[in-house]
Structure 1
């Protein structure tokens, strides 16, 4: 199974989701591929935000080797599931869909809400980490069935 996590700049939320899910997948012995991308191109090629790296490291997850990528339509061919962090990401990813099959792959990461972007609020990185970790555990439980 191949899963892509998407946020705006691919430096805060989606790298955390990518790293946390990949860590949990490895612990579970699952043969899944997890990646991430952003809908904006400001940070392409750069490492995740230092605060995301720090909070992930605090909980034993290393995301420091990740590099930001821009979401492109070809990703619909590469991934089984594409999880987006908020409604704007959802809209932007759907705008690149070429057909109904592409659209069917796109889902909100949190089925009943959004993952807040912690970029402008230093105090949000830890709560966002825990929110993402909880959802990643649910995804493993649900998708592994």
Structure 2
């Protein structure tokens, strides 16, 4: 899992200031566990770590969630199967969504992972303003 090996992401070199690199990772997107609100922050910056440590007191992970995640991450067979099925389902949903949005003539940027779709909706805006965006949102919501 990517978040288990974060210390290997930041190279041990003096080419840059490691105290200015912060990795924030959540389980929401990669594992489709949005409801759990579990994530990690990895940093060499003492000020960032001190601030997040103080905030962590107010947003700890519940014991049932901790036990479930420990069980899930300890079972590599389950985890491999879960990730395989999750990738397949995300791929199918992305293909279906892309097909329907493409029929509307919406251009998008190619994504490399997860269920992300960076769409160019500019041709549907009546005006390039907050009001124009709100009108577009209302039109999409009511369609």
TM surpasses 0.5: no
- TM-score calculated relative to the size of structure 1: 0.26
Larger CA Rg, structure 1 vs 2: 2
